[in-house]
Structure 1
Amino acid sequence: MSTSNKDTNDGRKTINIRGRPRPYLDHRRVGRRDYYLLEPVGSPFRQRYLAFDPRSGPGGDFFLFQVWPGGPATQQQLRVLKRLKDDSLPRVVEWQRRGSDVDIVLTWIEGTPLAEYLENIREGRRPPVSPRDAVRLIHGLANAVCKLHQRQQIAHGDIQPPNVIITDHPSRLVLIDFGSAWTIESTAWREEGDGVHRCYAAPELQNKGATPVGFFADQFSVSVLFYEFLTQQLPYGGLGGKAGLPVHVSRAKDALAAPSQVSPPCRALPSSLREGIDRAVLRGLALDPADRYVDRHQWLNDLFAVHARFRLAPELPHVENVLTRVVHWLVKPR
């Protein structure tokens, strides 16, 4: 493996990655390790890059390289990142102060950004997610979020497609950005972080003066993703979490249509599955946090019940069930 740099015809420097030259944007040294920043990832408002360390193991390895301005918000993020010990989440490899900024290196999660995945569905480049797979993926994400709250005492606060990776073999949803996260014990004096996407953020994260409860806020954001998987639309007529803002709430509270009213694949499901999905989605999307699932056990139990029912022998839709009973009655020996 060569670590020497070369220039491309357009003047860009390259590094050999597993036998192939690849352009890079910048080179940073953290401690005794060299990181080559290959391309920006995620939100354009954040300094976050796919990086490569040519001396990390045989053949080198990829990492997530973040640059944060110094200050209370960065200190809050470091407290959060130091608690991430689960292999299914990004973990801090090392960090250092560089002038007024802080460079943070995290493990890289292989997969496709959920924002790109959903865009490919909208553009017809990949088929929509089936209700069965949507339930499986969201059940897994909800488990991860609840573990984050219960074991690490962390609220994510910004669950949206650019901050989620969908992995392959097996496919699952993984949170990759904790720029707006906070520790549960610091909720009352938390920093605002680097912003949220108003369509995916819970209303209480957007209303000034409200003290958010992390579990309720993250539950709402996961439910927005659930709704989008099932319908290829955002809830509340496209408003998502903005529906809870004072300017919208009076006319938006009755605008939430159940997935089975919007999605033909959901509508075609047997009633037990259809009603179970609708119930879990609508409760998680309640604009008032008090109307959502009050604890993780209720939320996970409802999601698990639907997930488990998909794995059982399929129940016939109502019309087919009636026709089957009629046929059985007609052919019954008399």
Structure 2
Amino acid sequence: MENRIDFVNWLDPDMSIQILTCLDDLSDLLRVTCVSRCWRQYVIANGLCRQLCLRMFPQLSKVVHVVEQRYGTKDPAEVGSSNFMEWQNLEREHRAYAFLARGCTTFPIRDLISEPICASSTDNYPEESIDNTLEPRDVVAQRASYWSSKGNSNPAEPEMLLYKLMGDLCVITEVSIQPFEAYFQWGLPIYSAKAVRFRMGHPKSPVDVPLGESYKDYENKFIWTYTSQEFPMAQENRLQTFKLPEPVLCIGGFLLIELLGRVQRQDMDGLFYIWFAPSSLFNCSFLVFMVNCCELFQDQCASTLIEYFVILAIIFSHNVYVTDQL
């Protein structure tokens, strides 16, 4: 038989880690753990799943602790030596980050906007409210359906639109927006913005944000873990897709759309407006990962199937967010 060398045991530990960190696919890293018990222990002991997860989604760098709760088994903290407990913690972290990375790179889902929260301004509320951006119809009750900002004499004045997503952890790849063409005005003006920017994050504390309120009441109550570059917007009546440079993990489930600058002045009052067409966000392309899950696995000691709940607690320096069980 041809001689083979186990490079993990043969090479310097730092060199072995450099080789394994070249893997950029979670499936490949998990296959490494199946080669042998030694390799599995090496991957877990060096936190390679966590390192890969942080490279894929830098927003996770704020996670300082992972909690995994099992029902039907004893808490590892209750039994065993300190070395055993430390190894249990490493295994728990490995499973959690492997599960998180797998969930964040699978299950493509569209239409992930749960509900509109508020806009920085609305010209005629509720007829021209932010709710219309998710309305699939162009005309509602014999009236054109769209969102309109208040008019402003300053073309540089920005506008904000705040949305709640379906999940608390979502991977966003692109967002599509369509400016509204006022077909009922002379010249068919298109009220687009000059540029658009996206922020993603979570509230500083659990708050119930009522619909229809101004964003100014809540702009200091959120922490934005990601801010995109500015994307120029064309003054055209079409769905415009803005693809992010890389998939972004939204922690907290809130999306803020910043509309930077105005290009269209309304003839009747001489003010600049921004209007959005219905279903502007209806075609957003997302990947979603539901944090909590229920899996069945074989209990080797009792040889019975027991429920295995994984709960990730994302603990920040100022707050704790724990998902509910499914």
What is the TM-score of this pair, normalised by structure 1? Answer: 0.23
Structure having greater relative contact order (Cα 8 Å, sep ≥ 6): 2
Q: Whose Rg is larger?
A: 2
As a proportion of its length, which structure holds more helix?
1
What is the TM-score of this pair, normalised by structure 2? Answer: 0.23
As a proportion of its length, which structure holds more strand?
2
